[in-house]
Structure 1
């Protein structure tokens, strides 16, 4: 039998400065600047949803390249009623 486990939903928190993000979530007590949910479909498209807080263009770019490790090749989001995207080729 073969089993493939794919992450479909991720919870993202953005921190300022140098926070060790490799710790378990329960051990991360530092205040975060933003959090959001990322939904990844089977086509490799990630949708950013439910942004709470301030996310800069640089934050979004850094997140996009981290999502590439999950097989994502396109990131989509809505900003002020307009659909936006970033292709990761």
Structure 2
């Protein structure tokens, strides 16, 4: 069953949501107000974020992608444009 991801605007005026990996492959679908950069980060709790995927400067306004990392990895998704809806399956 899909879970809603809640994005909030951070101090850099970017939209950000976080979750923790269950160890299963996860599918994420994000709808944004317009195209623009979209970056996925991962980290082990207590360590700094490392880029998992960079969709580039002109990622589409609606994107669906997979994240496949071990269990207990903290995932952060950062959009440079406003996110209007987002869901994740497998988290």
Q: Which has the higher contact order (CA 8 A, sep 6+)?
A: 2
User: TM (normalized to structure 2)?
Assistant: 0.32
Q: Which has the higher helix share?
A: 1
Q: Please identify the structure whose Cα radius of gyration is greater.
A: 1
